[in-house]
Structure 1
């Protein structure tokens, strides 16, 4: 028997009750499925699904998030594929959706992430565990005390790429996490992931600069490069997964943000 569900793109699809052959094509959602205890049900993941390590080493890999091995996926006879609007390629997901039930998330905010966790839990017969997980994450963020005076919030430039410099702007999950952590996004006036020149960075006048560990592997040498552009800013290498992964890894984000603020 199947059940009719609606995904976060407002698409209606029929999926099996308690799917037993799941393919996950989004790293943060792969880790969520692991946290929900779906070791046997998840049969394939992408090469970027590095958590948990035992799945990365043992599960079949079916390409990258934006370049999936489509026929290989079909050959596995999945009864559910879990994808994401931003992280996957539209044409590939539409091709798969014509042949296999594909549930797609669309996440910009923390409430979106919590909705995804609860929805996926219901989808894979782990509603109780997922609801408890979402509640723990929500409580951890509710305990962040950021103050009410926006003038006291540090302006943070969060970089995701070099050559060209690219930062997180508004309408991104990273922007949401910056605000949740008690910071002001120095590039909140710009949409999505703008390309920036040195003058743009200088004019933003950030108090702090966060250099993400992903997708670009920023290192110590980049700190010196940026320090010449914004000599007054404090520059820190940060764990990008805790700012951009919207699954069960969020359990650790609030405490990490607190530790970063304590370094101010």
Structure 2
């Protein structure tokens, strides 16, 4: 948490003008009842679907219009260590206090929800969201305990081919699902060369950031002849925050289709 943000909390001031540079955090803010306070979002903030019409779009997650942000006179800017660059964070710090999330697993997500509850005086709403997640999580853990483990490859990009490896939020959700990551000995999002792998049980093609389609299933079947290959909702695997309760329900339906 940025040291300037600690000053906000110390003075018991609730930020009234919020800029969110992270789509999943924008959704969380709205689910906390803060949509009226959001003055700026990215072009990728698509949930809820009306938020870009109600707030100013200040660019993407990697490229921003800093003067637009300055003109909005935010009280706080919300960033993420993975989604936003160091330069973006530094530029934003010159304008307003910055909160930087760093999410690797569900526990980190719950901490973030609690932090937002404190910062924006929405503790009750935050606890309700956390409760929903924990109820779904406990039920799913009991469900998945009886499921078979799959040696799994999760693709996020093509040209070059890129996969999810260790030290990522997606990998933590793969573990939750008993999807044993074939690339768990690598870090982050490595590029790979396609090779025939007969020991892979499951290949997941994400809807984001690369929008995989059915034709890619055919293309990859040559390299993973014994694997089930599925198109999956990338938001469910990568959006932390309030979406987690929906994601866990989605995982159950995914398992039932395997």
Q: Could you tell me the TM-score, scaled by structure 1's length?
A: 0.91
Matched residue, 2:249: 255
Map 1:219-230 to 2 at 5 A.
219-230=213-224
Do the aligned partners of 2:114 and 2:127 also contact (CA within 8 Å) in 1?
Answer: yes
**Runs of 4+ with >4 A deviation:** 9-12
Matched residue, 1:118: 114
Matched residue, 1:206: 200
CA distance in 1 between counterparts of 2:4 and 2:226 reads: 48
Matched residue, 2:154: 158
Do the aligned partners of 1:186 and 1:205 also contact (CA within 8 Å) in 2?
Answer: no
Matched residue, 2:6: 13
Map 1:1-264 to 2 at 5 A.
7=1, 13-15=6-8, 17-144=13-140, 145-147=143-145, 152-199=148-195, 202-203=196-197, 205-264=199-258
Q: SS where residue 248 of structure 1 aligns?
A: coil
CA distance in 1 between counterparts of 2:130 and 2:3 reads: 21
Q: SS where residue 53 of structure 1 aligns?
A: coil
Q: SS where residue 100 of structure 1 aligns?
A: coil
Unpaired runs of at least 5, structure 1: 1-6
CA distance in 2 between counterparts of 1:135 and 1:182 reads: 23
Shift of 1:163: 0.7
CA distance in 1 between counterparts of 2:145 and 2:240 reads: 24
CA distance in 2 between counterparts of 1:80 and 1:49 reads: 17
CA distance in 1 between counterparts of 2:157 and 2:53 reads: 28
After superposition, the CA RMSD in angstroms is 1.7
Matched residue, 1:4: none
1:98-132 deviations in Å (ceiling 9; x for gaps) = 33100110000110011111111111111110122
Of Structure 1 and Structure 2, the greater strand share is in: 1
Do the aligned partners of 1:13 and 1:101 also contact (CA within 8 Å) in 2?
Answer: no
Do the aligned partners of 2:197 and 2:223 also contact (CA within 8 Å) in 1?
Answer: no
* Greater displacement, 138-147 / 115-124: 138-147
1:54-90 deviations in Å (ceiling 9; x for gaps) = 1123321001011111111011110011110110011
Unpaired runs of at least 5, structure 2: none
Q: SS where residue 241 of structure 1 aligns?
A: helix
1:165-190 deviations in Å (ceiling 9; x for gaps) = 11100000000011112321121111
Do the aligned partners of 1:164 and 1:196 also contact (CA within 8 Å) in 2?
Answer: yes
Kindly tell me the number of residue pairs found equivalent between the two proteins: 253
